[in-house]
Amino acid sequence: MRFYNQHHEFYVGIDLHARQMYLCIIDNTGTIHFHRNMPANPEHLQRALQPFGDNIVVAVECIFTWYWIADFCTERGIDFVLGHALYMKAIHGGKTKNDKIDSQKIATLLRGGMLPEAYVYPRQMRSTRDLLRRRQYFMHQQSEILTHIQNTNTQYTFTPFPTRIKYQNNRSDITERFDDPMVKKTIEADVTLLDILHHILVDLESQILRQARQHDPVALHILRSIPGVGKILALVILYEIHDINRFPAIGNFISYARLVKCSHESAGKRKTGGHNKIGNAHLKWAFSEAAVLFLRSNEPAKHYHQKLVGKYGKAKALSIIAQKLGRTVYIMLKRKEPFDPKRFFQDGAHEMTA
């Protein structure tokens, strides 16, 4: 957890909503100079901040509408802090809660150096990352429809499809096996949606890939050198990390990617687990997928996996490989070097005997 601890003359806490925002401006002694509800737009924010000069910092909790305030501050050279929503929930819980109280608490935490920071993703890559996340939503929709077709086929005790129906060419005649006109209509609707989603996904992927080649072609090439990491996984890892140098150590990175369980200790008693949802869910998914794909057609990886299974079991073995891939990605991006299988498995053998 990182806290913002820079000193300023004025501290601005904003309890932000889609249409309204409550501003609290305090000075470095804690005196409130401005405390008011107003429409959430740049014009009203500019008017509120103008009397307080340049030595000012603005903080807002990380919710879905924070982009415009971050851009507002960047354009005017104002320091901006994005509060980590999960950490802040634990810190400023109280018996009474409203927008006025919340804005003052944000400003007070900021002044006291106790506001937990989240990463302010840069404007030039933000929309591409959001588009990539939207693509994942469409993929989930596609998977749900494919599952429904498979389940309907099983429900009517037909033989399994001879080919994989996820491919458009293999779906041309699947409605013919159903006799009931209502069931046939259901499958036709599913197939129509699959065709539409296929064209959407192809278009999105090509556009995101073009952008990635402009944003960071070196990192994209480095990530694609890992066995099993294809176009989509490389894009997800690239855009969810953005800049590997924002993580001061490898432990910070694998914790952010949810690849390690944190321990809780009190009065000499120690336990692991809890707070598993703090971190980046998209990176967790990417490295979990990469661990499975890493084993395909990769004999050294399969041999290494079998050793881990014998010692830890199947589930933990995959988790260890996912974490090791996370560590490897951190080192590769730091050094700007492609994947080195010899080094990967040498380190793995050392871990097994340690």
- The sign of the torsion formed by the CA atoms of 145, 147, 151, 154 equals positive
Per-position b or e across 212-248, b if 16+ CB within 10 A of its CB: beebbeebbebbbebbbbeebbbbbbbbbbbebeebe
Q: In whole angstroms, what is the distance from residue 259 CA to residue 280 CA? A: 10
Which one-letter amino acid corresponds to residue 170?
N
CB 288 within 8 A of CB 257: no
Supply the pLDDT for residue 68. 96
Host H or E run for residue 177:
none
- The sign of the torsion formed by the CA atoms of 27, 30, 32, 38 equals positive
Taking the domains of the chain in order of start, what are their residue ranges? 3-118, 125-215, 249-353
User: pLDDT 10s per residue in the chain (354 long)?
Assistant: 789 999 999 999 999 999 999 999 999 999 999 999 999 999 999 999 999 999 999 999 999 999 999 999 999 999 999 999 888 877 777 788 899 999 999 999 999 999 999 999 999 999 999 999 999 999 999 999 999 999 999 999 899 999 999 988 888 889 988 989 999 999 999 999 999 999 999 999 999 999 999 999 999 999 999 999 999 999 999 999 999 999 999 999 999 999 988 777 777 777 766 667 788 999 999 999 999 999 998 999 999 999 999 999 998 999 999 999 999 999 999 999 999 998 898 865 444 333
Supply the pLDDT for residue 243. 94
Pick the CATH number of 3-118 from 3.30.420.40, 3.40.350.10, 3.40.47.10, 3.30.450.40: 3.30.420.40
Supply the pLDDT for residue 273. 63
* pTM (2 d.p.): 0.86
Rounded (5°) CA angle 285-290-296: 140
Q: In whole angstroms, what is the distance from residue 299 CA to residue 345 CA? A: 11
DSSP 102-166: HHHHHHHHHHTT-EEEE----HHHHHHHHHHHHHHHHHHHHHHHHHHHHHHHHHTTPPPPSS-TT
| SS3 assignment, position 17 | coil
- Could you tell me which of 296, 315, 308, 290 has the C-alpha nearest to residue 348? 308
Supply the pLDDT for residue 150. 94
Ramachandran bin of 81, using left for φ above 0, alpha for ψ from -120 to 50, beta for the remaining angles: beta
| SS3 assignment, position 19 | coil
For residue 236, give every residue at least 6 positions away whose Cβ sits within 8 Å of its Cβ, in sequence order, or none.
132, 136, 282, 283, 285, 286
- Could you tell me which of 77, 57, 63, 70 has the C-alpha nearest to residue 12? 57
Supply the pLDDT for residue 347. 65
CB 231 within 8 A of CB 209: yes
Looking up tokens 């995959």 gives: 318
Looking up tokens 């008693």 gives: 269
